[in-house]
Amino acid sequence: MALPDGFTLPTGFVIDRLMRVAAERWREHYGELGIGKPALIVLVALATEGPLRQARLSERTRIDRATLVALLNELESRDLARRAPDPADRRAHAVSITDAGGALLIRAAELEASDDFFAALTARERATFDALLARLLVAHGG
């Protein structure tokens, strides 16, 4: 109420609302995979950017270092990721994805591909959307 004329809905809210729908959709997928969204994001980062020390992994994924610890413990216990001593720095760990982790990631991509979440968009629009998203992400440090 009492909203001025020409008031435009903040884009962030629209995205957030959309993410809530996506979260609903994906809960069953997560259930099948037995893994949470943050853990999946970690695997994506590891798969695309090779071995990373945890501090760098935290920067890339925007997941706090403290939160990352428990996440990596879980991933390691399932043999989806691996912590190895970093030869160049005895403080750091070189975290890498395992073959099992890569396989799970592929399965996750298949699940999203089979989902009709983006059905309202044509292939062309979908490509535009992805491109704009990528541009935004790169602009904010990948």
Partner DNA sequence: AAGCAAACGTTAGCAACGCAAACGTTCGAA
Partner DNA sequence: TTCGAACGTTTGCGTTGCTAACGTTTGCTT
The binding site for a second copy (CB under 8 A) comprises: 1-4, 7-24, 26, 37, 40-41, 44, 46-48, 50, 61-63, 96-99, 101-103, 105-106, 108-109, 112, 117-121, 125-126, 128-130, 132-141
Among DNA, a second copy, none, the one that 124 touches (CB under a kind-dependent 5 to 8 A) is none
* Comparison of 88 and 120: residue with beta carbon closer to a second copy: 120
Least CB distance to a second copy at residue 37 (A)? 6
SS3 breakdown of the chain: % helix, strand, coil, rounded to 5? 65, 10, 30
Distance between CA atoms of residues 32 and 15, nearest Å: 26
**Interface mask toward DNA for 51-90; x: CB under 7 A:** --xxxx-x---xxxxxxxxxxxx---------x-----xx
Distance between CA atoms of residues 4 and 23, nearest Å: 32
> Measuring CA to CA, how many Å separate 20 from each of 16, 27, 133?
6, 11, 18
The number of angstroms, rounded, from the C-alpha of 27 to the middle of its chain's C-alpha atoms is 14
Among DNA, a second copy, none, the one that 84 touches (CB under a kind-dependent 5 to 8 A) is none
SS3 for 30?
helix
Least CB distance to a second copy at residue 61 (A)? 7
* Comparison of 28 and 125: residue with beta carbon closer to DNA: 28
